[in-house]
Amino acid sequence: MEAMQNILTRNSPRELTEPLPSSKEMQEIYQAALRAPDHAWLRPSRFIEVTGKGLEKLSKIFVEFAKNEFKDVTSDQLEKYKAAPFRAPMIIILVTKVSEHPKVPKIEQMLSTATAAENILLALHAKNYAGMWRTGKFAFNKKLAKYFNLTSDHEVIGYLYVGTPSGSAKKIPKLDLDKFVTHWNE
Ligand SMILES: Cc1cc2nc3c(=O)[nH]c(=O)nc-3n(C[C@H](O)[C@H](O)[C@H](O)COP(=O)(O)O)c2cc1C
């Protein structure tokens, strides 16, 4: 797909099914992710690719985390968390490995992972797959790292639900640029 057309038509379908990208396609997609802007080339982004039985593992982690860490969690909520990972055949967990650096604060390192995530979404779209970015209660919580078997310098910043879009295509709204863009030219 032509590059600008790819950017202008990217969207986040809620219904995602198989087929998934092949592992060869995913290698190219991760290379695209790692071309994200990255202050001081700290290489902060990590991706955990979850498919098959891995989705059950993620589901168990969500339930365990909710039981241990959320106050007054209800059985309905636990059922929702248990089912959450099965909304797509692949989930890419977006993780930032935060380094101490005199000029690059943690927020910049997390923003680098965010731009890597958008590169993934664009690369998926270019290959006729799609992704939906989700966060919720299982992101931006310092306690998550240990549930994912990660050291405490890792921050889970979100999840890309990945697959082939199904259902009717989303109508993309045309936005009025005057509300978003200001020009300073004198
Ligand atoms: C950091 C971030 C977190 C998000 N978290 C959620 C979420 O938890 N649940 C949700 O329904 N949408 C979430 N979204 C929004 C969707 O990924 C998507 O962008 C939105 O539905 C608009 O659709 P579009 O991308 O097709 O324009 C999040 C987006 C971003 C950038």
| 114 Cα nearest atom in ligand 1 | 1
- Residue 56 has what pLDDT? 98
Q: Ligand 1 — pocket residues by CB below 6 A?
A: 11-12, 132-136, 158, 170
d(CA 21, CA 9): 19
3-state helix, strand, coil in the chain (%, to 5): 45, 20, 40
Best residue among 121, 134, 159 to mutate for probing ligand 1's pocket (most ligand atoms within 8 Å of CB) is 134
pTM of the predicted protein model? 0.97
- Residue 169 has what pLDDT? 84
- Residue 126 has what pLDDT? 97
Best residue among 9, 16, 135 to mutate for probing ligand 1's pocket (most ligand atoms within 8 Å of CB) is 135
pLDDT in tens, 98-125: 999 999 999 999 999 999 999 999 999 9
- Residue 129 has what pLDDT? 98
Mean per-residue pLDDT, 13-37: 98
* 150: nearest Cα among 98, 105, 89: 98
Query: Strands 90-97 and 154-165, how do they pair?
Result: antiparallel
Residues contacting residue 121 through CB under 8 Å, at least 6 positions apart: 10, 12, 130, 131, 133, 160
Q: Which amino acid is at 108?
A: E
Domain annotation for the chain: domains and CATH numbers: 3-7+14-179 (3.40.109.10)
Confidence of residue 167 (pLDDT cuts 50, 70, 90): confident
d(CA 130, CA 90): 11
pLDDT > 90? residue 1 = no
What separation in Å is there between the alpha carbon of 146 and the centre of ligand 1? 25
